[in-house]
Structure 1
Amino acid sequence: MVISDPEMETTAKKKQNAEAIKSNEISKYVKNQEDFEFQYWEQCRHLSEKELVALLSHDNFNLSLEAAKALLLIGGSKVIKLAQADSYNNSYKRRALAAFILGQIRLNTKEEKNSLKILYDLALNDQSAIVRSYAVLSFGQRYKGIKNKNLDSLLALAQKTILDKSFKVRANTAIALSMFDYEVSIPLLIKLLKDTHSEVKNWAAFAVNVNGYDTPEIRNCFVLLLKENNFDVRYEAITGLAKRLNKSVAQLIIQELSEDKIDDRMIELISYLRDDSLLPVLYQIKDKFGSSKKLNMCIENLEKLKVKTKFTQ
């Protein structure tokens, strides 16, 4: 016989309500941000080059960023020269936008060489963390477009930016490293996996997973990340271990799936484990929340695996 505690039930209910409210507020915030971004883009996409350049100095940085995106589409030597000149502008916003443009605009060989030099310097020496974070990411994006690239310069930059005092710079370093399958970067990513900030650890884990790196130390780092409060970090850690067929994460996946709101990404992780003993959990989820494409596919795959296992025993 279970004796219920009204006070505990009330506390639990309040916690659930608070989490639901928080989740709804986050969803509303994301939607509002997307709406604003679309409005800014609509405002920019029909403007002339001169009008777009003027918007780079607008007080609203997000509007300026959309103007920079529109200038990227225009391209050409005039925009390139503007971005290179703005890299030395007194305004940190203009320097950040210059780094953004130089990371993605089409360049010839000479312009490429000059732009990489500018981005390298901004990433290491600019006083603004925003500028440094844009610059290190753009440096990585710039290298992504180079044929027969030598990644030593990117590695040399990353060795310094992983020590930056700004977590944004360190996180963008991890993103830059994620763009290349370059095993020499593993020691740097391991350092980032041990960072103090969750966003840095999240992107470092993403970089490891997207490139399929696997070492005992990486696995140890993932095990430690399972204790993180941040869901995105836990998800990347569980993903990494599940892809490496570490059955110990099965219980963690079940725990995540026991929440009132199901994340389809967690369903997908069960497929990686190839463990048909998890089928009852999936049936329960289907009964409670209804079917979905990923859920049905996962159930179908595990049912086939169960039949195959039965016949091979």
Structure 2
Amino acid sequence: MPDCTTKDVSKALVRLRSEIGAMTLGRVMTLIIVTDDDGADDALEAATAASRAHPSRIITLVRGDRRWSDRMDAEVRMGGDAGVSEIVVLRLFGELADHGEAVVTPLLVPDSPVVAWWPMNADYDVAGSPIGAMADRRITDASLSSNPRKDLLRRRQTYAEGDSDMAWSRTTRWRGLLATALDQPPYEPVTAVTVSGASDSASTDLLAGWLAVRLRCPVHRVRGKRGTGLTKVHMDRASGPIELVRPDRRFATVTQPEQPPRTVDLSRPGTAESLAEELRSMDRDITYRDALLKGLELVDGVSATRAGRSRK
């Protein structure tokens, strides 16, 4: 629908719902994707896959050329490749590209949570942005920014309740394996931790921050080659170290005293998998908040203090 209005989009949704049936009545949220034209297709594909477990109205705001005259082009999908969700793609041009909240508001699903997702190049202050202000949850991805570490520290500086980052959800399996290892005898305290990963790995920084908060011991962050992601966690205890090592970005080995080594698949989760995990709960993620706000500044090798403290 070229050069249309939100009223035109609403009419198209009603018409398609009538034609396809009641399969969309179970929508549990509105998911707003804020992106540019280059990343729109990949983001929408990931959101559609993630929404299979969370039927949603997915509104993709594609910020177009601001030099063009003010205009909105729209596309509405339902059924078929849209799965159990409703998909609305809005391409905004001219000054309208900076006022996505004006066109989104009439299209929100009533009485349901609103989640905003910036797949890349998120605003400096997502909670303070117009789209972020209307969202119950705000999801960013520091890993896909041009400078992941700088972006992560920016998230720390502007953090507000409801913020989360997909660099954190990518550490879930690492955290689970480490917690399982510590839940086995001899139940000794960890005296020191070394976390190794790529110099541009926001996930490595967050995992180190989480361990610093949880274990209350010195944590050192070692920087490796860019693009290699998380590679190793070494935890010292009196009876011997626990190590979780992933040399090839897929398989990892867990070693600890008096137990045979275990090999596990620790592949980096894809965007759809990470997004689906973020959508499982609308509650604030206190563990992420503590790792970001308290943990980073405790880690030797993460310059969190340069970013300042959160305002909220």
Report 1 or 2 for greater relative contact order, CA contacts < 8 Å, sequence distance ≥ 6. 2
Which has the larger share of helix? 1
**TM-score (ref. length: structure 1):** 0.31
**TM-score (ref. length: structure 2):** 0.31
Larger Rg: 1
Which has the larger share of strand? 2
